[in-house]
Structure 1
Amino acid sequence: MLIVHHLENSRSQRILWLLEELGVPYDIKHYKRDEKTNLAPPELKAVHPLGKSPVIEDNGKVFAETGAMIEHILDAYGPGKLRPQAGTPAFDKYRYWLHAAEGTYMPPLVFTLFVNRIEAAPMPFFAKPIAKKIANSIREGYLDHTMKAQYDFLEAALANSPWLAGGDITAADIIMSFPVEAFSSRGKSDGYPNIAAYLMRFQSRPAYRRALERGGPYALLK
Structure 2
Amino acid sequence: MKVYHVPGTRSIRVIWLCHELNTPLEIETIPKFDAAFKASPEWRAKSPTGKVPVLEDGSIVMYESGAMVSYILDRYGPGRLVPTDPEALALYHQWCWFAEATFARPLGDIIHHTVIKPPEERIAPLVPDAMQRARLCLDGTEACLVDRTYLLGDAFSAADIMMGYSMMLAERTGVLTDSHPASQSYFALLQEKEGYQAAVAA
Q: Normalising by the residue count of structure 1, what TM-score does the alignment of the two structures yield?
A: 0.80
Q: How far apart, in 2, do the equivalents of 1:60 and 1:71 lie?
A: 17
Q: Give the percent of matched residue pairs that are identical in Structure 1 and Structure 2.
A: 31
Alignment of 1:29-44 (within 5 A): 29-34=28-33, 40=38, 42=40, 43-44=42-43
Which deviations, in whole Å up to 9, do the C-alpha atoms of 1:31-58 show, x marking residues without a partner?
Answer: 13446x6984735324233322111111
1:184: Cα distance to partner? 1.3
- Matched with 2:155 is 168
Contact 2:111 2:173 in 1 (8 A): no
Q: How far apart, in 2, do the equivalents of 1:196 and 1:120 lie?
A: 31
1:206: Cα distance to partner? 1.5
1:182: Cα distance to partner? 1.2
- Matched with 1:135 is 124
| 1:115 counterpart = 2:103 | no
After superposition, the Cα gap between the structure-2 partners of 1:120 and 1:69, relative to the gap in structure 1 and judged at 3 Å, is: closer
- Matched with 1:93 is 91
SS class of match (2:147):
coil
After superposition, the Cα gap between the structure-2 partners of 1:135 and 1:94, relative to the gap in structure 1 and judged at 3 Å, is: same
Contact 2:6 2:52 in 1 (8 A): yes
Which deviations, in whole Å up to 9, do the C-alpha atoms of 1:57-104 show, x marking residues without a partner?
Answer: 1122112211111111010011110110141x2212111011111110
Q: How far apart, in 2, do the equivalents of 1:97 and 1:38 lie?
A: 35
Q: Normalising by the residue count of structure 2, what TM-score does the alignment of the two structures yield?
A: 0.87
Q: How far apart, in 1, do the equivalents of 2:15 and 2:43 lie?
A: 18
Alignment of 1:195-214 (within 5 A): 195-213=183-201
| 1:48 counterpart = 2:36 | no
- Indicate which of 125, 133, 145 corresponds to 1:146: 133
Contact 2:7 2:200 in 1 (8 A): no
Contact 2:106 2:134 in 1 (8 A): yes
Which amino acid letter does the alignment assign opposite residue 62 of structure 2? F
Q: How far apart, in 2, do the equivalents of 1:152 and 1:114 lie?
A: 23
Which amino acid letter does the alignment assign opposite residue 22 of structure 1? L
Say what the alpha-carbon RMSD is for the aligned residues: 2.5
- Matched with 2:145 is 158
After superposition, the Cα gap between the structure-2 partners of 1:113 and 1:59, relative to the gap in structure 1 and judged at 3 Å, is: same
Q: How far apart, in 2, do the equivalents of 1:116 and 1:200 lie?
A: 25
Whichever of the two has the greater Rg, that structure is 1
Aligned length: 200
- Matched with 2:174 is 187
Q: How far apart, in 1, do the equivalents of 2:37 and 2:97 lie?
A: 25
After superposition, the Cα gap between the structure-2 partners of 1:74 and 1:120, relative to the gap in structure 1 and judged at 3 Å, is: closer
Which amino acid letter does the alignment assign opposite residue 78 of structure 1? G
1:122: Cα distance to partner? 5.5
Contact 2:54 2:63 in 1 (8 A): yes
| Greater relative contact order structure (CA < 8 Å, 6+ sep) | 1
